[in-house]
Amino acid sequence: MAMTTYRVTLANREDATFEVEGRRPLLESLREQGVDLPYGCKYGGCITCAAKLTEGIVNQRRQVALNKRQINAGYVILCVARPMTDITLEIGVDSHGDLYRNPFLDPPKHHEPKAGIAEQRLDDGP
């Protein structure tokens, strides 16, 4: 049976494209083809390999490093993510601009930074 392959475009690497297998993690397939990617744990737990998905769909069920906000911002964990369509990615630390939010500069609502954090949450409700 022919294996399913997809095309990966790296938007911040001059739109370089690579053919990868659908059943293998993107970090592995791309590194094999010479793409220099950051990584740490290789099991989806440390966020080091995060990349931004700008087109297409991946399956990253096994990742545990991203929170909901980061997933909504389009981040995917390459060491466990497998492509389900052709995809476009921004890779490396230069794609991490929206990954972190400074909570004091750009706070979520209903917050006090010091005393009152816990009570505020418990008293205010959702």
The binding site for another protein (CB under 8 A) comprises: 36, 38-41, 45-48, 64-67, 69-70, 92-94, 96, 99-105, 107-108, 111, 113-121
Helices (H), 1-126: 26-32, 68-72, 117-124
15 with 98: CB under 8 angstroms?
A: no
Least distance to ligand FES, CB of residue 70, Å: 12
Residue of 11, 41, 57, 71 that binds ligand FES (CB under 6 A): 41
Q: What is the SS3 assignment for 17?
A: strand
Q: Which does 118 bind (CB under 5 to 8 A by kind): another protein, ligand FES, none?
A: another protein
Which strands, in side-by-side order, build the sheet including 5-10? 16-21, 5-10, 87-90, 50-55, 75-77
**Interface with ligand FES by CB under 6 A: which residues?**
39-42, 44-49, 65, 77, 79
